[in-house]
Amino acid sequence: DSGVTQTPKHLITATGQRVTLRCSPRSGDLSVYWYQQSLDQGLQFLIQYYNGEERAKGNILERFSAQQFPDLHSELNLSSLELGDSALYFCASSVDLGAMNTEAFFGQGTRLTVV
Amino acid sequence: SQQGEEDPQALSIQEGENATMNCSYKTSINNLQWYRQNSGRGLVHLILIRSNEREKHSGRLRVTLDTSKKSSSLLITASRAADTASYFCATPEYGNKLVFGAGTILRVKS
């Protein structure tokens, strides 16, 4: 158990809908990262938050947004969903501002299926 | 973007044999990390090697880093069926995110 909790584990929704994925980082970790894993794109970095502030942005679509709350949990919002958004979405946390010196701890992921 | 590229893409060995996976990366790094992912599950951190280290051990794992060649290798000795998984190398980019390679799929046959 990594200590990172993601909910829900599975999500099936229709095209055009909006979903929210939730992540609780390990106790004490201030950084939260979101990744998308699909068969054709591999593991893609989406966005990072540190102590409530956005710190880095990757290949995140404009239809996607995220935030980190004062209690450090984070939510990833995916809207106007398309079939191609079907993927595993991972949240990871680390104690550092970045991954310079420490490892990241990953949750078990949310498997999103858009039908 | 993918910083690390693993080689081979897939590897199939018998239980008890050693498995070696390689990773090449493009830019200067502060450290390089290896992760394991069991099918459809979350990634598990295996080992982190810093740029000033050449070799690191953890149990049956041995990682080497050659910064002049921008490459790293992960050796799993005396492999077990439970080692069957995908293995990824990852490097920090701008200190704010880990960039993962495409991974090596390891299958250990019992």
- Give the CATH number of the domain where residue B27 resides: 2.60.40.10
A23 touches chain B (CB under 8 A): no
CB-CB under 8 Å, A104 with B2: no
Among the partner-chain residues B43, B48, B92, the one whose CB lies closest to the CB of A98 is: B92
Check: CB of residue A52 under 8 Å from CB of residue A68.
yes
Name which residue leads in pLDDT, A2 or B80. B80
Mean pLDDT of B74-88: 97
pLDDT band at A100 (very low <50, low <70, confident <90, very high): low
Mean pLDDT of A13-31: 96
pLDDT band at A102 (very low <50, low <70, confident <90, very high): confident
**A107: pLDDT strictly greater than 80:** yes
Mean pLDDT of B90-101: 80
Check: CB of residue A34 under 8 Å from CB of residue A91.
yes
Q: What is the pLDDT of residue B71?
A: 96
Among the partner-chain residues A97, A103, A106, the one whose CB lies closest to the CB of B42 is: A106
Percent of chain A with pLDDT over 90: 80
**Token couple for B63:** 């990682």
CB-CB under 8 Å, A109 with B42: yes
Q: Domain span at residue B64?
A: 5-109
Peptide bond preceding A8 in cis form (omega within 30 of 0):
yes
> CA–CA separation, A92 vs A68, rounded Å?
13
Q: What rounded mean pLDDT belongs to chain B? A: 91
Q: What is the pLDDT of residue B1?
A: 44
> CA–CA separation, B44 vs A105, rounded Å?
7
pLDDT band at A97 (very low <50, low <70, confident <90, very high): low
pLDDT band at B6 (very low <50, low <70, confident <90, very high): confident
Number of domains into which chain B is organized: 1
